[in-house]
Amino acid sequence: MWIADNWKEYEVIDCSGGEKLERWSNYILVRPDPQVIWDTPKTHKGWSSPNGHYHRSKKGGGEWEFFDLPEQWDLHYGSLTFHLKPFSFKHTGLFPEQAVNWDWFGKKIKNAGRPIKVLNLFAYTGGATLAAAAAGASVTHVDASKGMVTWAKENAVASGLGDAPIRWLVDDCVKFVEREIRRGNHYDAIIMDPPSYGRGPKGEIWKIEEAIHPLVKLCVQLLSKEPLFFLINSYTTGLQPAVLAYMLGTELKHFHGTVDAQEIGLPVSSNGLVLPCGASGRWETN
């Protein structure tokens, strides 16, 4: 398992009964987590006095209950700054477990010894975009949500990357890739963090089990002659790490590289466990 254990301002304090107790900078949140199927005593004081608690509804969805939580606050990871705010369906605007991937590809970009062009698909609020830009890459950031791209731009400015070589695009990821192929554009690295289910700007439906492999096949056509890496993240429990590894290994076999895929996770500070948070598949050049 790849563990995101370099955080200073974020931690999973405890997890029990379908929920996790987290510290986001100076604020304590309780949020649901479907992986937490065990039920142990909730003895940490944070359980009884959080700043925010997302209550999941049995009918689907849920709602926040707030106790002295600001509308927005900041979280830092190295040189990066992220604006956080609680919004629909339990999210805060950041997936901290992805930091283990930021560290991995940041080193690869820095050590490449050449300019690196990165394509980040389903790029959300820009965690991977900023990590790649901070490492020296030029980045094309694509997400179907205008609001998320605006949020990512704000994070870039807060991180001192307002003038970094980042292209910000609100677009359907599949259609964008198809157009880039027709234009003859190429990238040295591709990152994708697709949702299990989603809709594009014009209502295009995305189901990861049906759409991920065709998209990977398209993206391979965008790779430069000497690609550096290809990273796929998945929160869909049906896509095991071995599936990601096989897909990458099959589609990139004509390049000289290696494939690995693992669960990614966050350490739980109160008991030494690691909370699983999905899977990542990595292809990298030899």
Contact 268, 281 (CB under 8 A): no
Shared domain for 37 and 124, answered yes or no, is no
Shared domain for 63 and 129, answered yes or no, is no
pLDDT by residue, tens only, the chain of 286 residues: 999 999 999 999 999 999 999 999 999 999 999 899 999 999 999 999 999 999 988 777 899 999 999 999 999 999 999 999 998 778 999 999 999 999 999 999 999 999 999 999 999 999 999 999 999 999 999 999 999 999 999 999 999 999 999 999 999 999 999 999 999 999 999 999 988 777 766 777 778 778 899 999 999 999 999 999 999 999 866 688 999 999 999 999 999 899 999 999 999 999 999 999 999 999 999 8
Query: Residue 58's domain spans which residues?
Result: 2-70
Query: pLDDT at position 207, please?
Result: 80
Is residue 88 situated within a structural domain?
A: no
Is residue 91 situated within a structural domain?
A: no
Query: pLDDT at position 77, please?
Result: 98
Shared domain for 136 and 24, answered yes or no, is no
Is residue 32 situated within a structural domain?
A: yes
Is residue 210 situated within a structural domain?
A: yes
CATH number reported for the structural domain that contains residue 41 in this entry: 2.60.40.1180
Shared domain for 132 and 36, answered yes or no, is no
Give the pair of three-digit tokens for residue 272: 């030494």
Contact 111, 135 (CB under 8 A): no
Shared domain for 41 and 148, answered yes or no, is no
Is residue 89 situated within a structural domain?
A: no
CB neighbours (10 Å) of residue 198?
17
Total domains present in the chain: 2
Is residue 83 situated within a structural domain?
A: no
CATH number reported for the structural domain that contains residue 129 in this entry: 3.40.50.150
Shared domain for 39 and 104, answered yes or no, is no
Is residue 190 situated within a structural domain?
A: yes
Residue 169's H or E segment, with its range, is strand 166-170
